[in-house]
Structure 1
Amino acid sequence: MDETTSPWLYLFGRGEDYQSYRRFGAHLVSPGVWQFLVWAPHAAGVAVVGDFSDWEPVALTPIGETGCWQGQHAGDVGQLYKFHITTQAGEVIEKIDPYAFAFEKKPGTAAKLCDLPKHEWHDAAWQDLQKQQPIYSRPLNIYEMHLGSFQRHEDGSYLSYQELAKLVIPYVKQMGYTHIELMPLMEHLLDASWGYQLMGYFAATSRFGAPEDFLAFVDAAHKAGLGVIMDWVPGHFIRNTDTLAQFDGTPTFEYQDPHRADNVRWGTWNFDLGKTQVQSFLISSAMYWLDHCHLDGLRVDAVSNMLYMDYDAGKENDRNVNGGRDNLEGQAFLKKLNTSVFAAHPEALMIAEESSAFPKVSAPIDMGGLGFNYKWNMGWMNDTLKYFEMDPYARRDHLNLLTFSWVYTYDEQFILPFSHDEVVHGKKSLMHKMPGDRYNQFANLRVMFVWFMTHPGKKLLFMGSEWGQFLEWRDYSALEWVDLDDPMNAAMQQFTKTLNKLYKKRPSLWVNDHDPSGMQVTKGDGPEQLAYIRKGETADDFTIVVLNLMPEEIQNYPIAVPASGDYEIVLNTESYHFGGTWRRLQRTLHTTGEPMDGQPDQVRVVLPAMSALLIAPKKIRREPHEH
C-alpha cells in the first residue's frame, strides 16, 4: 500500500479524509490478524508493542512520504497495545493509539484490540423522523447529564451503560424531555475533568462498559423517542506525555509554536487546527460519533477559544498575520467541520458553546456564518440568574436583565442553557441560588422555569435541577435522590414534568422560536410583572404568559388577549400540586370587551404572589376583519 494506490491517504494529507477511523488504528484484516496504521510524520521509527508480542516491539513500515506507518501482527480481541515511537534524537517514547476504539480502564492508557464496534440497530423509525421534520420547528428540550454521577451503586462504583440505559432512558422520557445531552464520553483519564480533557477521540470511555454497550444505549434512547447529543472537544487535549502530546517527538497534533500550543486556562494543549492531517483526524472523530454511533448531534465545546487568538490567559496581545485577533485557522476549521457534517447529516444538531459576541455563529456559511445550527445563549443565562438571585424587592430597577434578551433573541438560533457549569464550584444549585426561605426559593424557581420554557429558544437543563436539588453538583457521587422523600422536592419534580409536557403539547411555545412573529410583548416595562404572547403558525394557536415577579398577590389583574371569548389557565405555578398554596384554581376566564395594550380584549385574574400563569384560548371569536 502506498499513497499512489490509496487515494484516502492522499485525502488524509489534504485534510479531507472524514472517515479516517476506518483505516487508521487497529483493524482486523483476516481471522486473528490485525493491521496497524498510525500517523507519526517526524518519527525515525515506529513499532507496535502489546500482549500479543509479549510487549516486544514489532516494527512498522513507513508509507512513502505520507508520514504514516503500517504493519500487521496476529492478536486476540481485547489484548492491550501501544506504539513505540523512535524520535529523530533516538529516544523511544511510548504512545497511545489516537484512533483506538477502546482503552483499558484508568489509570492505564493502553488501547485494546477492537475493530469498529458492531451493533444491530433498531432505530430506523427514529432516523426517518429526524430527516422528515426540521429541528427548528420542533420542540427541543434537552436533559444534560454526567453519566458518572446520575446514579451509582451502593458501594460508590459506576453503573454500566446497560444499567444506565434501563434507569436513565425511562426517567428522561417520563419527565417529558426530547433529548439527552451527555458530557464528553470519549476516553479520558481524570474524573475531575468531566471528560473535557480527552485522549481517545474514537473511544467511548471504559468506565461504563464496552463500546458496543454504548451503541446499545443510543439505540434504546432512539427506540424510546429520545435523541442523544454528546459534548465534543476539538479545541484542545490532555497534556499527558503518553497520549497525543509531542506524538512523534515533535509537535504533531498541537501547534509548533509552544506559546500557541499551550492552553493556560485548562492546562491542556491546543490542536493545530490549520494542519490538514489534524483536520482529517478531528472531522473523522465527529463523523464517527454521528455516523457510526448514530448520535443526533454534537455540542462543540469552547468555541470561543478557537475563534480568537487572545482568548486564553496570558495571550491578550496575540495577533494573527493580518494584525487582528481572529484565529483564522480556527474559524476556517469550524466552517469546514460544519460543512462536512451537514453534507453527510443534514438533520444533525451542531451546537456551539460560545460565550462571546462573535456574529453569525449559527448562520449558514454562504451567509457569512460559521455554519452551526445552534448556539448556547450564555448572555440570557447569566442575566436571568443574576436577576432571580436578587431579593424580589431589589429587582424593581433591574427588569432589563430579563427584557434585554428580547433585543438579540433572533440574532442567532439559540439554546437557553442552565448547564452543569452554573451549579458547581461554589456557584450553588439553581434552587439554592433563589432568595428567601425554602418555600420562596421554590416559588422563585418555578417562575424562573416558566420564563425559561416560554422564552424563544430551545432548552437545556442539567440533571438534578428538575427537582430543585439543594446541593451543588458533585462529579464524584450520585445525585441526591433522597431529596425526593421531601414533599417540596417531589412537588418541584412534578412541576417540571408538567411544564415539560405542556411545552411539548403547545406548538406556540416552540414552532416559531427563531422568527420574531412568534412572540409579542404586551407588558414589558414592569417593574414587577411581565406579560407576552407566544404565537404558533395559526391565529388560534397562542399561549399567554404572565409573570408576577413580586411576593404580593394582585386581585383583578388585567391581561391583554388577542381575541374575545373564553380562555383557560393551563398552568398556575402556585398550585398546591407543585408546592404552592392554591387549592382552588381559576380555570375558565371570560373576556371583558375592553381593549388593552394594543390587543382587542382582556381577561382579569387573581395573580398569585411570586407566580407565573400560562393562559390558552378555549373558545374564542374573532370579528370578520380580524386575522
Structure 2
Amino acid sequence: MDTLSLTDFDVFLFHEGNMQHAYRFMGCHVKAGISTDFCVWAPEARSISVVGSFNNWNGRGYELKRINQEGVWVIRVDEDLSGSTYKYEIVTSSGERRMKADPYGFSSEVRPRTASVVYDLEGFKWSDRDWMKVKEKHNRFDQPMFIYEVHLGTWKKKRDGGFLTYSELADELIPYVKEHGFTHIEILPVTEHPFDRSWGYQGTGYYAPTSRYGSPHEFMAFVNECHAHHIGVILDWVPGHFCKDAHGLYQFDGSFAYEYARDSDRENHTWGTVNFDLAKGEVRSFLLSNARFWMEKYHIDGFRVDAVANIIYWANQGESAANEGALEFLKRLNTSVFEFDPSFLMMAEDSTDWPQVTSPVHYGGLGFSYKWNMGWMNDVLTYMEATPEERRGLHSLITFSILYAFSENYILPFSHDEVVHGKRSLLDKMPGDHWQKFAQYRLLLAFMTGHPGKKLLFMGSELAPFAEWKDLEQLDWHLMSYDFHHKFNSYFREVLHLYRGATPLHQWDHRSDGFEWIDVNNADQQIFSFIRHSEGEHLIIICNFSKEAYHHYKVGVPLVKAYQEILNSDEERFGGSHQINPHSLPVTKGAYHGKEGSIEMTIPPYGAVYLKPII
C-alpha cells in the first residue's frame, strides 16, 4: 500500500474555500484498473481506516495517513476495488468509533443499506454535443421555459409497486414531457438520501445519484436522452442543510465539521436537519465542487437552489439578521457556475424580499439567473380559492405582481409544496361545482401562461387530479379514462404548445415593454385584459374570473384590421360551454381603454381568450 500525492495548491484551495473540482481527488478513485485511492477530510479525527466488503470490514492495514494539520487523510490500496462497498471507520478525539459513508462517494447502496460503493464514472459516451452548442448560442431569457417538476419515485410505478429505473424513465417520461410541450424537467433532489418521504431534501450522498433508480451511468444515459429530445434537465439542489443520519455528514469526525458549531445557528428545527457552515472553507469547496460535479460529469443544465431564505438569514432569527458568510457563498457559487457555463440556469427558491437576487454579482446582486415568484403564487392562489363575490374585494391580488414583475427575472411556480400535506390539488382549490372547478382550472393555466415570467408546474397538474400529491403512490393515471380529465389534458397540451410557438408569451418576459394593461380596474366584473408584446408581434389576453358570460363586450385594442381567437378555454372540446368567437373580430377606430381602437366579443364564464391580430 502507498499514499497518493496531492499538489499543495489543490490542498490550499480546498481549505481556502475556492476549490471547484475537489471530487477529482477527494473521495474514492480507481486508478488505471490497478489501484484505488481514498481521500477524506476529517479535521478532528484521531485515526481513520477504510473498511468494506474487500477486507471483511476490518480496517487493520487499511489506515489512512494524515497529510496536513487541517485534516486531509489519504490511502492508496493496490487493488481495483470497483463494485466494493465501503465506509470510513473514524475514531474521534474522544475515542468514539464512527462508521461514515464517503462524503464524496460517487455511488451508494440501495437504502436501507448505507455504505458507499466504489464506482468509476469514466466510460460513458455522451452524444449531446448538438444540444450543448444550441444551448450556448441561445439567450436563455428570451426563450420559452415551461418546467415539469418531477419526483421520479412517484411519477409512475411498476405493477408490483417498485420504482421505475432511470432507463425506464427515459423510455416513458421523456416522450411524455415532450408530447405535453414542456421545455425542461426539474427533478426533486436526486442526491442519495435515506428516507423516501424526505423527497431527497435531506441528503447524505451529495455526489451520488440515488441508487433507488439505477447506477450513475444509467442516470447519465437519462440526461443524455433528455438532451437528444431537446429537453433540459434541472436538479433541485440543497446546499443549505442536511440530515442527521448516523452515516452521513452530521458530526462527521465527532466535531461539527460540516455544520455550524453554535446550536442556534446549526439546528434547523423546522425540518429536523442541520445547516451547512457556509463560511467554512472546506464546506464551501465541498459545495462549489458539487455544483461543478453535476455540470461536468452529468451535463446538468440548471439547479433550483432550495431554501435560499434559510441561507440568506440566520436560522431562528427570521428576516432580522443576514448571514454574511452565506451571502458570500451564494455570490461565489453563482460566479463559479457561470464562469464554467454561461448558459447554465441558477434558480433561487427564495420567499424573501432580498434585493437583486437575479442581478449579476459584479453589480452588487446575488447572481442567480431566476427567482421563484412566491408572492405571485400565494396571491393568485388566495384569489382563486375565494368565491366570485369575495374576488371583487381581492382585485389587487391579481394586479399587484405587475408592479414588481420586472424587478427580478422570475419563474412562476405551482410546485409540489402547493399540492401536498393537506393543501389540496390545484383543481380542488377552485370553488364551485364540478364544472366550475374545471373551468377555473383551465382559466388559471391560461392566466399563468399569459403572465410575464417563465413557468413551472408539478407533475400531475396536467391530469387535473382532485386528490393532492400522494407521495408514496404514483400519479392518478386512471383519470385519463374520465371525460373531463381527458379534455383538460388536451387543453393543457394545446396551451403549452401555443406558449412555445408564440414569441409574445416569452420573448420579453423580463422587460416592462413586454406587458401592457388594457383594463386593470374592472373589479366588478372580475375581468382582466392585457397585451403581451414581443419584437414586431403582440397578443391580446382577456381573463374572466367571474361565473358570468358577457356578450358584445367591448375591449380596447391596438389599431389593426382585425383579431382572431387562437385560444378559448371555454371550447366544448375542452369541457367548456362553447361560448367562443368563431369569426374574426373587426377593429373599430376610436379611443377606448386608452387604445386606438376597440373590438366587441364574447367573454366566456370563468374563461380566458387569446387573440392574435390579423395583419
1:289 is the counterpart of 2:294 = yes
The offset of 1:77, in angstroms, is 1.7
The offset of 1:259, in angstroms, is 2.3
Q: C-alpha distance in 2, partners of 1:384/1:191? A: 31
Q: C-alpha distance in 1, partners of 2:181/2:277? A: 41
Structure 1 residue aligned with 2:482, among 479, 483, 486?
486
1:141-160 alignment runs, 5 A limit: 141-160=146-165
% same residue: 41
The offset of 1:17, in angstroms, is 1.2
Q: Counterpart amino acid of 2:340?
A: A
Matched residue count:
608
Aligned to 1:373: 369
Q: Is the 8 A contact 1:261 1:270 kept in 2?
A: yes
Aligned to 1:26: 28
Q: Is the 8 A contact 1:564 1:600 kept in 2?
A: no
1:404 is the counterpart of 2:400 = yes
Q: C-alpha distance in 2, partners of 1:369/1:308? A: 16
SS in 1 for 2:74: strand
1:40-189 alignment runs, 5 A limit: 40-57=42-59, 58-73=62-77, 74-189=79-194
The offset of 1:108, in angstroms, is 1.1
Q: Counterpart amino acid of 1:27?
A: H
Aligned to 2:531: 533
The offset of 1:11, in angstroms, is 1.1
Q: C-alpha distance in 1, partners of 2:224/2:513? A: 37
The offset of 1:286, in angstroms, is 0.8
1:467 is the counterpart of 2:471 = no
Cα offsets for 1:421-466 (capped at 9, x unmatched): 0000000000010011111001001111111001000000001111
Q: C-alpha distance in 2, partners of 1:483/1:152? A: 16
The offset of 1:167, in angstroms, is 0.5
Structure 1 pair 467–522 and aligned structure 2 pair: CA distance change class (3 A): same
Which consecutive unaligned segments of at least 5 residues does structure 2 have?
none
Cα offsets for 1:63-89 (capped at 9, x unmatched): 132411111222432111000111111
Aligned to 1:238: 243
Cα offsets for 1:102-138 (capped at 9, x unmatched): 0001011100011225421111111111110111011
Cα offsets for 1:353-407 (capped at 9, x unmatched): 0001111111111221111010000000000000011111221111111001111
Q: Is the 8 A contact 1:254 1:270 kept in 2?
A: yes
1:435-450 alignment runs, 5 A limit: 435-450=431-446
Which consecutive unaligned segments of at least 5 residues does structure 1 have?
319-323, 620-627
Q: C-alpha distance in 2, partners of 1:613/1:543? A: 10
Q: TM-score, normalised by structure 2?
A: 0.97
Q: Is the 8 A contact 2:31 2:80 kept in 1?
A: no
Q: C-alpha distance in 2, partners of 1:119/1:456? A: 40
Aligned to 1:9: 11
1:39 is the counterpart of 2:44 = no
Q: Counterpart amino acid of 1:50?
A: G
Q: Counterpart amino acid of 1:179?
A: H
Structure 2 residue aligned with 1:193, among 169, 193, 198?
198
1:596-615 alignment runs, 5 A limit: 596-615=592-611
The offset of 1:559, in angstroms, is 1.5
Cα offsets for 1:244-273 (capped at 9, x unmatched): 011111110011212211111110111000
Q: C-alpha distance in 1, partners of 2:372/2:569? A: 26
Aligned to 2:208: 203
Q: C-alpha distance in 1, partners of 2:143/2:358? A: 17
Q: Is the 8 A contact 2:306 2:349 kept in 1?
A: yes
Structure 1 pair 341–183 and aligned structure 2 pair: CA distance change class (3 A): same
Q: C-alpha distance in 1, partners of 2:605/2:268? A: 49
The offset of 1:583, in angstroms, is 7.6
Structure 1 pair 117–443 and aligned structure 2 pair: CA distance change class (3 A): farther
Structure 1 pair 584–350 and aligned structure 2 pair: CA distance change class (3 A): closer
Q: C-alpha distance in 1, partners of 2:6/2:81? A: 32
Q: Counterpart amino acid of 1:571?
A: L
Cα offsets for 1:317-346 (capped at 9, x unmatched): x9xxxxx61111111110010011011011
Q: Counterpart amino acid of 1:359?
A: P
The offset of 1:154, in angstroms, is 1.0
The offset of 1:3, in angstroms, is 8.3
Aligned to 2:514: 518
Structure 1 pair 127–454 and aligned structure 2 pair: CA distance change class (3 A): same
| 83-92 vs 375-384, which moves further | 83-92
Q: Is the 8 A contact 1:262 1:269 kept in 2?
A: yes
Q: Is the 8 A contact 1:50 1:79 kept in 2?
A: yes
Structure 1 residue aligned with 2:496, among 491, 497, 500?
500
| 393-402 vs 185-194, which moves further | 393-402
| 281-290 vs 593-602, which moves further | 593-602
Q: Counterpart amino acid of 1:65?
A: Q
Q: C-alpha distance in 2, partners of 1:448/1:526? A: 18
CA RMSD of aligned residues (A): 1.4
Q: C-alpha distance in 2, partners of 1:44/1:10? A: 22
Aligned to 1:623: none
Q: Is the 8 A contact 1:3 1:64 kept in 2?
A: no
SS in 1 for 2:31: strand
| 205-214 vs 239-248, which moves further | 239-248
Q: C-alpha distance in 2, partners of 1:208/1:159? A: 6
Q: C-alpha distance in 2, partners of 1:158/1:587? A: 50
Q: C-alpha distance in 1, partners of 2:45/2:580? A: 77
1:358 is the counterpart of 2:354 = yes
Cα offsets for 1:559-606 (capped at 9, x unmatched): 211122021100000001111121864231111223211211111111
Q: Is the 8 A contact 1:428 1:471 kept in 2?
A: yes
Q: TM-score, normalised by structure 1?
A: 0.95
Cα offsets for 1:214-238 (capped at 9, x unmatched): 0100000001010000100000011
The offset of 1:2, in angstroms, is 8.5
